[in-house]
């Protein structure tokens, strides 16, 4: 599991999250079709632990609700 260095500047952390969220959005849309804007924003602005959780769920679940549900 990748963890952020506490000394990593916030700007670098945000850039990393943006890349991860962009990739997850592409994967979700490839599987489930275009995402509603609210879900796109949810993924785009998500923190790293959420992105990791959803990325793992994406591999095992078959609906957006299962992948992005709390």
What global pTM score does this model have?
0.79
| CA 13 – CA 48 distance, rounded (Å) | 9
The per-residue pLDDT for range 15-50, each reduced to its tens digit, is 778 889 999 999 999 999 999 999 999 999 999 899
pLDDT of amino acid 68: 94
The answer to whether the Cα torsion of 33, 42, 44, 57 is positive or negative is: negative
Q: Where are the domains of the chain?
A: 10-68
pLDDT value of residue 16: 76
pLDDT confidence tier of residue 6, bands split at 50, 70 and 90: low
What pLDDT, on the 0 to 100 scale, is given for residue 40? 96
User: What is the rounded radius of gyration, in angstroms, for the C-alpha atoms of the chain?
Assistant: 12
Return the higher-pLDDT residue of 4 and 33: 33
42 CB neighbour count, 10 Å cutoff: 15
């Amino acid at each position: 599991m990748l963890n952020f260095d506490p000394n990593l500047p916030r700007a670098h952390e945000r850039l990393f999250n943006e890349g991860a969220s962009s990739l997850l959005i592409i994967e979700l849309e490839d599987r489930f079709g275009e995402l509603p804007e609210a879900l796109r924003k949810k993924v785009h602005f998500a923190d790293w632990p959420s992105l990791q959780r959803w990325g793992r769920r994406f591999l095992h679940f078959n609906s957006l609700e299962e992948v992005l549900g709390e």
